Amino acid sequence: MHIGINQASFNPNGITIPNGCFFGFPYGVEEAAIVLLPVAWDVTTSYREGAANGPQAILDASVQLDWYDFDLPQAWQTKCGTIPMNSDIQEQNRAIRAIAKLIIEHLESGGKVDDHAIAKQLATVNQASATLNHWVYTQSLELLEQGKLVGIVGGDHSVPLGLMQALAQKYEDYGILHIDAHADLRQAYEGFTYSHASIMHNALKLPQISRLVQVGIRDVCEAEMAMVKSDERIVMFDDWQLKANTYQGIPWATQCDKIISNLPDKVYISFDIDGLNPSYCPNTGTPVPGGLEFNEAIYLLRSLVQTGKRIIGFDLCEVAPGELGDEWDGNVGARVLYKLACLQRFQVSL
């Protein structure tokens, strides 16, 4: 039980008092049906760091929301608990990020990934990332064994791999709905085995993942497209084609049905905030023009649960707060997280 959790003190119509839990919700982890696990880690961020501060930014913004949800009556009664932020991980992130930066600088000044000069540093970063993955895996598995739904709040997009591995222990067959500007199919990036740009490449090593459905993709390399073509588990709905369909009069609802029809019954949602238009996430690490509108993304999620598919877990990654107290990125992140956390209950009410 966290300090400060007091069910009687939560008033869905009043001021929400920060208590260390997302949304200031009054539910401890023991009684929660959904558990949010914040992972403040952005070691492999390649362009602009800050995703490690995402969980705190979302946490801070999340108590400012109003709780009425147009899809779900009494959404605030969703029993959603929060694992406290782990300060050891925050500290380790700072130390390892400093080493990763040396490697990135070496590469950006013309050095090679296999240069002896950075071999030791690269091994350190890869080992630390493997340790982080294992930590997420064990935390997730323990919660799954207690029958809880787990949501990871990143952090860069490397962090949910441990949850995907834990889900593969529990389920023989599941699909991933992946909302992102990037395909994240690189076989290591900048020498980092567990790069944020490699999450789906690494995830697809799990044979239990029978489908990867990617939505909003618009920044992708040749090798990644070759992988999309060679692995029949991958179905990509790139941003350009989605927009072209819209311009030609195909309704978003029809496009959502097509996207969802490619998914199996059990679905994991991996939501990179940069899948949205960058006006919703101006401080994210690798912003790309184009992308989904907020309401398009929410409509897609809503349509997913309406089909009766079962959400088995989710992550929200790459939210990064602005400097000088700009809360916009955290605000949008908190709203996406609220929808994700309440999503499974939509099914009952819609």
| Closest separation in Å from C-beta 111 to Mn ion | 25
Q: Decide: is 224 part of the binding site for Mn ion (CB under 5 A).
A: no
Pull the structure tokens for residue 288: 């790309």
List all residues 6 or more positions away from 306 whose beta carbon is below 8 Å from its beta carbon.
Answer: 346, 347, 350
Beta-carbon count within 10 A of 21 CB: 25
| Closest separation in Å from C-beta 319 to Mn ion | 11
**49/274 with CB nearer Mn ion:** 274
Beta-carbon count within 10 A of 163 CB: 28
**143/332 with CB nearer Mn ion:** 332
Q: Decide: is 315 part of the binding site for Mn ion (CB under 5 A).
A: no
Q: Decide: is 180 part of the binding site for Mn ion (CB under 5 A).
A: yes
**69/274 with CB nearer Mn ion:** 274
| Closest separation in Å from C-beta 286 to Mn ion | 6
Q: Decide: is 238 part of the binding site for Mn ion (CB under 5 A).
A: no
| Closest separation in Å from C-beta 183 to Mn ion | 9
Comparing CA positions, the residue from 308, 321, 236 lying closest to residue 49 is: 321
**83/152 with CB nearer Mn ion:** 152
Q: Which stretch binds Mn ion (CB under 5 A): 7-15, 35-43, 71-79, 182-190?
A: 182-190
**58/143 with CB nearer Mn ion:** 58
Q: Which of residues 257-276 bind Mn ion (CB under 5 A)?
A: 272, 274
Given a contact cutoff of 8 angstroms between Cβ atoms, the answer to whether 12 and 342 are in contact is no
Number of residues forming the site for Mn ion (CB under 5 A) = 5
Q: Which stretch binds Mn ion (CB under 5 A): 14-22, 180-188, 239-247, 335-343?
A: 180-188
Pull the structure tokens for residue 163: 């949850």
**274/296 with CB nearer Mn ion:** 274
Comparing CA positions, the residue from 235, 233, 216, 221 lying closest to residue 300 is: 216
**149/213 with CB nearer Mn ion:** 213
Q: Decide: is 182 part of the binding site for Mn ion (CB under 5 A).
A: yes
| Closest separation in Å from C-beta 44 to Mn ion | 12
Positions touching Mn ion (CB under 5 A) are 180-182, 272, 274
